[in-house]
Amino acid sequence: MTVIKFPKENPRATETSLVQVQEKIDDAKVKYINNLVDQHCSALLAHISLSGFDIEREDFMKDFAFTVETVRSSMMRNMGISHPLHEQIDEAMEVVDTEEGDDEDITFPSVMFDDEEDE
């Protein structure tokens, strides 16, 4: 009678650290967010075009690209992932408490627009 000894350890198993697992999760989140942003912002751009706006203008495309990146940044923050715009948004935006029961307002600090008033 032949006895086959089974290996005590799985030779295909590799040790995965918690950091590597978190990186894989974050990568999956980024892919998911990028797909959502592409899908929804493409649809938004099509709707804007159908509403009669010239989306081919260079200045429009710059503004819209910034808008798209802001949407991406917001979704990434919501999922706990860092984005380069977070720091700039935190510096530029201010949450203001309103009356009890009302929603909070988000405003630009007046410093951001001082240059325009001087012109």
Would residue 65 count as lying in a domain? yes
Would residue 5 count as lying in a domain? no
Would residue 3 count as lying in a domain? no
Q: What are 18-41's pLDDT values in tens digits?
A: 888 999 999 999 999 999 999 999
Whole-Å CA distances, 79 to 40, 70, 73, 111: 17, 14, 10, 30
The boundaries of the domain holding residue 79 are: 18-118
Would residue 109 count as lying in a domain? yes
pTM of the model: 0.69
Would residue 44 count as lying in a domain? yes
Q: What are 51-72's pLDDT values in tens digits?
A: 999 999 999 999 999 999 999 9
Would residue 2 count as lying in a domain? no
Would residue 13 count as lying in a domain? no
Structurally, the chain folds into a number of domains equal to 1
